[in-house]
Structure 1
């Protein structure tokens, strides 16, 4: 029988923070593939196929080496998690091909806000006033990044917003699974099902990748496998509503990667919106730390 991980908020925060660096790196490679920087531009569904293909190879290799004890999966939960996850990744890859990585990442990472709200009816978690306040601050920052004026609004931003909604739902399924199955089994089943869904979807848009593009697709898959391992283990060690907002750290890495590779300098709107979002995450972490120290 699988024994759930002991609650450890500090380790959970570290694992989620590490996952953000890997996730931002996959977004960078996806942008390079989707904009034609590495050859003829690939369709987002083909990029997400590469992500699941090589992540599956990495996870299967890890299972072969570790030989964990597997049990019967909760298929309905896995199907829900994988379906929302595939849709979220594909929408995110589509958005970064048209708008700056920092903006797309910031908008898509409204998903912790949606996850926090969904955690109330679906996970039975109690959300205190400080968590609501932190979420409101983060949402304000995301609205700044949406640039909701006729002169500056970009339709591609709606792709990132849609990604936020579906990934927020995926977080709920991840949390439901984290206490029922071992993380390595969750990753194995998720990537196997994801590869099946992505393969079917990619048939309609497939074009032969170049050698460089295959390498980038492999990089996306391997980096995402590392991110998933960190994320699933982090979610298993703390409340979803506590660890999810830490994912906003992806904003920092996305901006740095975009600047280093594509020479995209964040403008004042990006900096302001990102700062507000990160401020909301800091408020949440600070308050949770105070509560845990004061608790008997």
Structure 2
């Protein structure tokens, strides 16, 4: 067996595991929550500087597998999607920061973590992925859990009159951030055949160039004076790389809808760090919300397991309710659509 055939067989065995994509997503969410914790610990670093460190660390650490595999950083046929992915990633992070700065954190979190809703919709429209009753139930339960954890003011306390014009701009920024985050998931899934190192390097270099331009323009690109901040930034870059790597691999293996729902486990991890490091203990609603989010991840794992069983399996038939209403959208090519119209179909 040739070396190329061995690599193909190895990738097929790994990617064919029914739960590997969800497992990688949970790891990505865990690393993302650690990055959020490290950001809170930074005392003298601006958001643009953190973005430069994030994008730069991912790009540099991706160079080794990129060179080892002999892949081009911007291969022909994938240049436009990689450029778009870099731009969309930059916009999503920037708008998310703006919303966290001008909107109460709980309110902004509910909007930002609504990514699964748009992830499923965009994947159905642009990728033709499955869209079933099960997906929508999982979205509903997940969003309910997030609302219980975050408890936004506009739901639990009717405080609209306290919102200023700048606050409403922040709410719109959070909403746009959610759209761009969902689009980034779809773009990564769209180029799933490209090696993960090329996907990460191409998109991160694009994002790094854009972020460096604005950081230099604002005069916010300098080395932190506090030694503690330097160590935290180093750890932040490493954990960001692991998070992006696992998320990219997960999207190359698994559907956007299931990945985006599973990513919401970051909310539960963040609540754990909040308890451990900041002594902010949960109440009943927080515990119920966390239980709902975790339950969705367990049910998604069960969904994947049922789909991986043989069609004649008694277990699959007993749990057929999970997959009985699955529908798949297949976009009709323009030429075929015209022929169908001419034939009166």
Normalised TM-score (structure 1): 0.83
Aligned position for 1:230: 246
Q: How does 1:131-280 map to 2 (within 5 A)?
A: 131-144=135-148, 145=150, 146-148=152-154, 149-151=157-159, 155=167, 158=171, 160-179=174-193, 181-203=194-216, 204-206=218-220, 208=222, 209-210=224-225, 211-280=227-296
Long gaps (5+) in structure 1:
none
User: Deviation of residue 26 (structure 1)?
Assistant: 1.1
User: Deviation of residue 176 (structure 1)?
Assistant: 0.4
Cα distance in 1 between the residues matched to 2:201 and 2:69: 12
Q: Which of 27, 44, 52 is matched with 2:47 structurally?
A: 44
Is 1:118 aligned to 2:118, yes or no?
A: no
Q: Which of 61, 67, 70 is matched with 1:68 structurally?
A: 70
Aligned position for 2:82: 78
Cα deviation 1:6-36 (Å, max 9, x = unaligned): 4433111111111111111111112222xx3
User: Deviation of residue 186 (structure 1)?
Assistant: 0.6
Cα deviation 1:54-86 (Å, max 9, x = unaligned): 22222224434x243334361221122222212
Cα distance in 2 between the residues matched to 1:31 and 1:94: 15
Q: Flag the 1:125–1:67 CA change in 2: closer, same or farther, 3 A.
A: closer
User: Deviation of residue 237 (structure 1)?
Assistant: 1.4
Larger Rg: 2
Cα distance in 2 between the residues matched to 1:234 and 1:194: 21
Cα distance in 2 between the residues matched to 1:263 and 1:163: 30
Deviates more, 1:257-266 or 1:117-126: 257-266
User: Deviation of residue 288 (structure 1)?
Assistant: 3.5
* Equivalent pair of 2:200/2:245 in contact (CA under 8 Å): yes
* Equivalent pair of 1:31/1:96 in contact (CA under 8 Å): no
User: Deviation of residue 48 (structure 1)?
Assistant: 1.3
Long gaps (5+) in structure 2:
313-345
Q: Tell me which of the two structures has the higher relative contact order, counting C-alpha pairs closer than 8 angstroms and 6 or more residues apart.
A: 1
Deviates more, 1:47-56 or 1:136-145: 136-145
* Equivalent pair of 1:56/1:188 in contact (CA under 8 Å): yes
**Secondary structure at 1:277's aligned position in 2?**
helix
* Equivalent pair of 2:116/2:260 in contact (CA under 8 Å): yes
Cα distance in 2 between the residues matched to 1:291 and 1:273: 27
User: Deviation of residue 108 (structure 1)?
Assistant: 2.5
User: Deviation of residue 104 (structure 1)?
Assistant: 5.9
Aligned position for 2:35: 26
Cα distance in 1 between the residues matched to 2:275 and 2:97: 18
Cα distance in 1 between the residues matched to 2:90 and 2:233: 15
Q: Flag the 1:230–1:103 CA change in 2: closer, same or farther, 3 A.
A: farther
User: Deviation of residue 45 (structure 1)?
Assistant: 2.3
Q: Flag the 1:261–1:138 CA change in 2: closer, same or farther, 3 A.
A: same
Q: How many residues align?
A: 288
Cα deviation 1:168-227 (Å, max 9, x = unaligned): 111000100112x11111111111111101111212150632233233223222211111
